[in-house]
Structure 1
Amino acid sequence: MSRRSSAKYKLDRRVGENVWGRAKSPINKRQSRPGQHGAARKGKLSDFGLQLMAKQKLKGHYGDVTEKQFRRTYDEAARRKGNTAENLIGLLESRLDALVYRAKFVPTIFAARQFVNHGHVTVNGVKANVPSYRLRPGDVVQVKDKSRSMALVLEALGSAERDIPDYIEVEPKAMTATFVRLPELADVPYACRMEPNLVVEYYSS
């Protein structure tokens, strides 16, 4: 069971945004932060506060990514040539669970982690059950035959909440998704504004 599945919408209220763009998000009805005094806890954030919020929002979007895993991903992005913020987005989107979510094989990023953990997908024909597995351009992810009739898969495929980004090619009948290329920030269909540049400032300060 996903560690945060029962409280996944707390992030929405904490940052004051609908992070995943879901109709069920409590932020659609009540925009205050969690807690008895949430409505009163509004104030201007410091530069550090803005950077921390940006980091928590981006990390939280990818579900149960731990701080250690996220920092390791940032360090890899910083080592690569080019813009660190763009590299960070590309690395996060190349996670296996992120692709399963973007391809609409499951309804949420939390379900994607479970789906991969339980061995419902293959990568290039080989079973893969590590959500953080890093895909390369050209890799093909496929839902196993016996898993295609699962209720959450059918729910996700029929949902109009999300669009499939153009850096992923999906064949609905074969239930395959090809990771075409590493995306940039502008390519990723985030439901709210992400600021990876502030995440870079947070870790480099």
Structure 2
Amino acid sequence: MTKRTSAKYKIDRRMGENIWGRPKSPVNRREYGPGQHGQRRKGKLSDFGIQLRAKQKLKGYYGDLTEKQFRRIYAEAERLRGDTGENLIGLLERRLDAVVYRAKWVPTIFAARQFVNHGHVTVNGKRVNIPSYRVKEGDVIAIREKSRQLALVLEAVALPERDQPDYLDCDNSKMTATFVRTPSLGDVPYPVMMEPNLVVEFYAKN
């Protein structure tokens, strides 16, 4: 399991955006960055800085993936036919922890990773405890029966702040979600603007 090396809300403040759309995000109260020098006026970012920021934002959104993990996913997206940026989003959204988060079974992507890791999730009836497991179109993802009454799950399902996207066919009564299709960028309900094209430019130059 990937270790999160920084507090999740620090990512929000570093980016100056509420990247998960959470009501508790400190960006809602103070827009400056974390740390002793966070309130200093920001200078204008270079092209490299803009591209790096886009990469860090996307990487942070999916649970602050390590650079090694993220670069590997990018390399795979580059090998696929079609637009690399769109391929990258599709591969990230096919991660099992991302699907669990999108199904609204947990409140955060970090909770989704832990939830999968602790063995609460099945894919096509078989228990899978690897958050980076890649689902395929038609796969049925479900919460194990004995885990469906966990307080975490019941609270997350009731949260009004997120909707389940249409590329998942969710049955909340059975706690199942069918992965209908791989989404494109426009299908993914990001609370803030993601720019995978800038991520592609970043890796093309570095």
The TM-score, its normalising length taken from structure 1, stands at: 0.97
Who is 2:153 aligned against? Answer: 153
Structure 1 residue 136 corresponds to structure 2 residue 143: no
Who is 1:37 aligned against? Answer: 37
Who is 1:202 aligned against? Answer: 202
C-alpha displacement at 1:39, in angstroms? 1.3
Tell me the secondary structure at the aligned position of residue 177 of structure 1: strand
Q: Distance in 1 between matches of 2:41 and 2:155?
A: 37
C-alpha displacement at 1:6, in angstroms? 7.0
Q: Which amino acid aligns with 1:14?
A: R
Tell me the secondary structure at the aligned position of residue 39 of structure 2: helix
Structure 1 residue 185 corresponds to structure 2 residue 182: no
Who is 2:8 aligned against? Answer: 8
Tell me the secondary structure at the aligned position of residue 141 of structure 1: strand
Tell me the secondary structure at the aligned position of residue 39 of structure 1: coil
Who is 2:21 aligned against? Answer: 21
Q: Structure 1: 5+ residue runs without aligned partners?
A: none
C-alpha displacement at 1:36, in angstroms? 1.7
Work out whether residues 2 and 114 of structure 1, in 8 Å CA contact, stay in contact via their aligned partners in 2: no
Work out whether residues 100 and 112 of structure 2, in 8 Å CA contact, stay in contact via their aligned partners in 1: yes
Q: Which amino acid aligns with 1:171?
A: D
Residue identity over aligned pairs, in percent, reads 69
C-alpha displacement at 1:66, in angstroms? 1.3
In the TM superposition, structure 1's runs of 4+ consecutive aligned residues that sit over 4 Å from their partners are: none
Matches within 5 A, 1:9-158: 9-158=9-158
C-alpha displacement at 1:2, in angstroms? 7.2
Work out whether residues 140 and 177 of structure 2, in 8 Å CA contact, stay in contact via their aligned partners in 1: yes
The TM-score, its normalising length taken from structure 2, stands at: 0.97
Cα deviation, 1:74-129, whole Å, max 9, x if unaligned, reads 00000000000000000000000000000001010000000000000100001100
Q: Distance in 1 between matches of 2:20 and 2:64?
A: 14
Work out whether residues 5 and 110 of structure 1, in 8 Å CA contact, stay in contact via their aligned partners in 2: no
Q: Structure 2: 5+ residue runs without aligned partners?
A: none
C-alpha displacement at 1:64, in angstroms? 3.9
C-alpha displacement at 1:35, in angstroms? 1.2
Work out whether residues 123 and 140 of structure 1, in 8 Å CA contact, stay in contact via their aligned partners in 2: yes
Q: Distance in 1 between matches of 2:62 and 2:204?
A: 21
CA RMSD of aligned residues (A): 1.3
C-alpha displacement at 1:163, in angstroms? 0.6
Work out whether residues 98 and 112 of structure 1, in 8 Å CA contact, stay in contact via their aligned partners in 2: yes
Who is 1:170 aligned against? Answer: 170
Cα deviation, 1:39-81, whole Å, max 9, x if unaligned, reads 1141110000000000000000000421111101000000000
Q: Distance in 1 between matches of 2:4 and 2:24?
A: 16
Q: Distance in 2 between matches of 1:72 and 1:167?
A: 24
